[in-house]
Structure 1
Amino acid sequence: MTELDKRLDHLLNGRKQKNRFRSFKEYDTSSESGLVDFSSNDYLSLTSSKALRKAYLSKLSSTPNIFGSTGSRLLSGCTPAHSALEKRFVSFFGSPSALLFNSGWDANVSFFATVPQPADWVIYDELVHASVHSGMRASRVPPERRIPFPHNDPKALAEVLETITSTSSSNDRSTVFLALESLYSMDGDFSPLPALLDVMGQNVPRSRQCVVLDEAHSTGVYGDQGRGVVHALGEEGGAQGGKRGEGRVDVRLMTFGKAVGCSGAVLLCSPTVRSFLVNFARPLIFSTALPHSTVIALDCVWDVLQSEEGDQRRRSLVVISAYIHSQLDILLARTPRDILHLPPDHNIPFPDSDAPNLPPKPGSPILGLLTPQPHALSAFLLERGFIVRPVVPPTVPPGGERVRICLRAGMRKEVIDSLIEALRLWVDSRVEEDRGVRAKL
C-alpha cells in the first residue's frame, strides 16, 4: 500500500467509525425481485412509460445522428437539435432565454461561480443544494457577502436584508442574489415563495434583485403541463427587450434527471445572463455537449408531459402523496418523536391557493422521516421488500439523520399500506426496546 493509500485509508476509517461511510448499493428493482423502490426520484414513473419508449425508439430509428455531440457547444457540439430544444423550452416555460447544461450541478456551479461579482451579495436558504455552495466557493464574492438564512423563514430573510441594505449608499449598484428551491429534497417541503419574494421587494430595489430558484424536484410535476411552481404562481421573470418581466423570479433551473427521467438541465434566464455564461462558465465551455440521444429523449419526454398521459401521471402522484401523508399522520400521532417524526413544516400549503394548476396542498412526493437510527430502519424495511435509503451527515446536519421516502406515479395504495405497516412494526419494536431498557434502570 502506498503512503497515499495509507493516508486515505485512515481518513476512510474515520468516516466508518462515525457511521458515515458511503458505498454503492445495487438493487434489483425488476418485478421478479419483489422489491419496491421508495428511493427513486422518478416521480412520474416516466422511465417505465411504454408510450415514451415507443416514441423514443421510433425517433431514434429515423434520426441520422444519435450518438455523441462530438464536442462542446463552442466547438462542434452546437447542433440544430440542441438549439431547437432550447427554443422549445423558451416557449414552454415562458422564459426570455434558455441554456442547456449537462446536469443541474453544472448549471448551479456555472451560475454562482461566474455571475455574482465581488461587490454583490448572495443570500441563500440554509438548505439549498450542495451545488450552489460549490458555485459560491468558486466565485469572487467574498465569504462575508455570502449569507445564509434559516430554512423557509421570511422573517429571518428580512433581518438579513435589513442588515446589508442599512449600510448601502444611495448610489449602490450591487446586486442582491437570493438562492432558493421550490421543493427541498431532504425535508420534502415547499418554499413559501410569495412571502419570500414580498420580503425581497420590501428591502431591495427591483433593479438590484436577482432571484434564483432551483426547480429540480418540481420540474414536470407541478403547474400546467409540469411547467413548475414559478410558472404556476405567475412569477416567471427575466429581461426581455430591455425591460424586466412582470414575475419576480429572474433565473430558474429545471433539471431532467428526476421526474423527467433523463439527464441534463436547462437554465432559464435573460439573454444577457445566457451570453455571460457562454463566455465565462467553465463547466459549459469545457464539457462535451449533451449527446444527440439525450436531446431526442428530452424532445419525446416533453411530448408526453404536454399530453393527457402527462396530466394523468401528475394527478396520480398528487393522489398517492395525499394518501401516504394521511396514513403517516395516523402512525406518527402515536409515535414518540425521538423514534420517528417528520420535519415540522413538512407539507405546508402554498400561500397562494388560487394559483391555477397548483392545488393548495399538493402533497410532496418526498418524505424525510427523521430517526436517530436511519441505518437500522433502512435495513428493517429492506428485509420486508422496501428500498428506503438512510441519509446521514454530512449530507444532513448532525441530528437530522433520516430515511427518505420518494413516491412515484402509479404506486398502488396497497403498497403504501404495506410500507406503513412495516413502519408500524419498527416503531412498536423500538417502543418495546425502550421499555425494556427503562425497566432495567
Structure 2
Amino acid sequence: MEGTSHSDSLLSHNGTIITRIQGNRVRPNSTNTLPTFYQNLEDALDIRRASHSFYSVVQNNWQNSDAVDFCSGDILSLGKSPDRRAEFLKEFDRHPDFSIGSSGVRLMDGNHTYLEQTEQEIADFHGAQTGLIVGSAYEANIAVWTSIPRPGDVILYDSLVHASTHEGIKQSLAMSHVEFPHSDIESFRSTLLEILDSQSLVRQGKRSVIVAVESIYSMDGDVCPLEELLEVAREVLPDGNIQFIVDEAHSVGVIGPMGSGLVCKLGLQKDIAVVVHSFGKALGATGAIILGNQTVKSTIINFSRSVMYTTSPSFPFVAAIKSGYTLLKSGCMSEAQDHIQRLCVLFFETLENHPLWPLARERELLSVPLARGWEDRPFQTHIITVSTHQNYTYWLFFHLLSQSLCVFPVEHPVVPRTSNFWYMRFSCG
C-alpha cells in the first residue's frame, strides 16, 4: 500500500467510508434462506444496522497512506521505534535458551523466572510491593473485581469507568454496587455517607468500601481528582476500611516521573491498594500488570478464574513489555512525553484563536469540553473529545477523514444515546 493516496484508500471497496456506509445498511429478506441459527444472529445485527451503530473492522488509514493519525494508542511511538525494536531483540540475545511458549497456566508449568523478575522490576518502578502480569487490561480488571471484593463489601465506582470494570463489578461478590457522578467530589461524599448509614458491617469496620476510578478517563480524557477523593474517604471512614483501585491504562508512559503514571506523580503509592497498568497503549506492547502488596497478589491468584485457568505470558510477550520499561527507565522518552504536552497546548491555542470558534461554541455546533480552563491545568492529557449535533457526528467524521485526519467516532452502545462524539489521541509519531 506504500504510496497510496488517502482519498483512494478511503473510497476503495474496503476503505473506511465505503465499509462503514455499507455495513450500516439493513438487508431485508436477505437472510431468509439461512439456517435459524444464523438468521437470529443477523436479526440482532440488523438492529445495530438500523440504528447506524454497526461496527466494522476497517483499514487503519494512517498506516497505509499519508493521513495524520489521531486514533492510534501508540502514544510514544514505541511500537514502531527502532530503539525499542533493538532493545526488544537484545532480550532474546540475553536469554538465548528462551522458550517460545509458556507451556501452561501460572500455577503449574507456566511460571518462569524471567516473568517473575520482570514483574518485580515493574512493581519497583511504580513503587509497589509486587505485581502480576496478565494478558490484557480487560483481563486485569476482570481478575481484580472478581477476586478482591469480599461478600459484604460495597463497591463505589465513578460513572465513567471502563467497560471491563463494569463487567468485573457485575461478577464480583460485593454486597452492592453504587455509582457516583463522574469526578463529583460532593456526590462522592454524600454517597459514602449513605453507604455508612445503610450498611452496618461497613459502619462497624467489618467490611470495606472499594472505590473504582481511572487516572485518565478513556472516554473524556479528563484526570481523576484522586487526592480530593482520598481526602473525603479518610474523613468519612477514618478507620481505613475504604480502599481505592485505580486503572492507569491511559496514564502509564505519559505522565508522572519517567511516565510512571498519576499515582506516582501525586506520590500516592502507599495510599492506593491496587493499580492496573496497561501495556497496549503508550508502552507499545500487549498485556497489563496488577500492582499491589503480596496479599492482593495472592488473592487474585487464588480467586480469579481468569488467572487460574489462563495460559501464562510467554517469554516474547514479556520481553516486549520489559524492553518498553527499559526505555522508560532510561529517561530517553522524556522528549516524546514533552512533545505530547506541546501538541495538546498547540491544539487548544489554535482552537481558541480560530475566528469561528466563538460562534461555533455559542451555537453549540462544536463542543470541546477540555478546552475550558486548559491553561490552569498542571499538565494536559493526550485524549481530547469533540462533539457536534448528534445527527452530524458521522458527517463530521467523514469530512475529517476526507481531509486526511484519522479520528474515531464513539457512539451508542459505547456511550448513552444522544451522547455521540469522536475523540482524538495525540501521539509523538
**TM bin (shorter chain):** 0.7 to 0.9
Contact 1:189–1:345 (8 Å) recurs in 2: no
Q: How does 1:19-38 map to 2 (within 5 A)?
A: 19-30=52-63, 33-38=65-70
Q: How does 1:25-424 map to 2 (within 5 A)?
A: 25-30=58-63, 33-62=65-94, 63-65=96-98, 67-142=100-175, 145-169=176-200, 171-237=204-270, 248-331=271-354, 332-336=357-361, 337-343=363-369, 360-371=377-388, 372=390, 373-410=392-429
Alpha-carbon separation, structure 1, partners of 2:352 and 2:105:
50
Contact 2:234–2:240 (8 Å) recurs in 1: no
Q: Quickly say closer, same or farther: Cα 1:346–1:24, change in 2 above 3 A.
A: farther
- Give the corresponding residue for 1:425: none
SS across alignment from 1:306: helix
Unaligned runs of 5+ in 1: 238-247, 351-359, 411-441
Q: How does 1:9-24 map to 2 (within 5 A)?
A: 9-24=42-57
SS across alignment from 1:367: strand
Alpha-carbon separation, structure 1, partners of 2:418 and 2:396:
16
Alpha-carbon separation, structure 1, partners of 2:231 and 2:371:
20
Alpha-carbon separation, structure 2, partners of 1:344 and 1:259:
21
SS across alignment from 2:333: helix
Alpha-carbon separation, structure 1, partners of 2:48 and 2:410:
14
Q: Quickly say closer, same or farther: Cα 1:205–1:345, change in 2 above 3 A.
A: farther
TM-score by length of 1: 0.84
- The alpha carbon displacement at 1:84 in A equals 0.4
Alpha-carbon separation, structure 2, partners of 1:171 and 1:7:
51
1:5 corresponds to 2:38: yes
Alpha-carbon separation, structure 1, partners of 2:375 and 2:105:
43
Alpha-carbon separation, structure 2, partners of 1:346 and 1:280:
44
- Alignment-mate amino acid for residue 106 of structure 2: R
Q: Quickly say closer, same or farther: Cα 1:305–1:347, change in 2 above 3 A.
A: farther
- Alignment-mate amino acid for residue 73 of structure 2: N
- Alignment-mate amino acid for residue 190 of structure 1: V
Q: Quickly say closer, same or farther: Cα 1:24–1:260, change in 2 above 3 A.
A: same
- The alpha carbon displacement at 1:168 in A equals 4.3
- The alpha carbon displacement at 1:339 in A equals 2.0
- The alpha carbon displacement at 1:94 in A equals 0.7
- The alpha carbon displacement at 1:344 in A equals 6.3
Alpha-carbon separation, structure 1, partners of 2:351 and 2:288:
33
- Alignment-mate amino acid for residue 395 of structure 2: A
Alpha-carbon separation, structure 2, partners of 1:125 and 1:345:
22
Contact 2:124–2:130 (8 Å) recurs in 1: no
Alpha-carbon separation, structure 2, partners of 1:97 and 1:297:
19
Contact 2:205–2:239 (8 Å) recurs in 1: no
- Alignment-mate amino acid for residue 409 of structure 2: P
- The alpha carbon displacement at 1:329 in A equals 2.9
SS across alignment from 2:332: helix
| Structure 1 stretch displaced more, 334-343 or 399-408 | 334-343
Contact 1:82–1:295 (8 Å) recurs in 2: yes
Q: Per-residue CA shift, 1:170-190, capped at 9, x if unaligned?
A: 534110001000101111111
Q: Quickly say closer, same or farther: Cα 1:182–1:348, change in 2 above 3 A.
A: farther
| Structure 1 stretch displaced more, 191-200 or 120-129 | 191-200
Contact 1:60–1:66 (8 Å) recurs in 2: no
Identity %: 30
Contact 1:347–1:361 (8 Å) recurs in 2: no
- The alpha carbon displacement at 1:43 in A equals 1.1
Alpha-carbon separation, structure 2, partners of 1:348 and 1:284:
41
- Give the corresponding residue for 2:30: none
- Alignment-mate amino acid for residue 95 of structure 1: A
TM-score by length of 2: 0.86
Alpha-carbon separation, structure 2, partners of 1:387 and 1:69:
37
Backbone CA RMSD of aligned residues: 1.8
Alpha-carbon separation, structure 2, partners of 1:309 and 1:172:
46
Q: Quickly say closer, same or farther: Cα 1:278–1:150, change in 2 above 3 A.
A: same
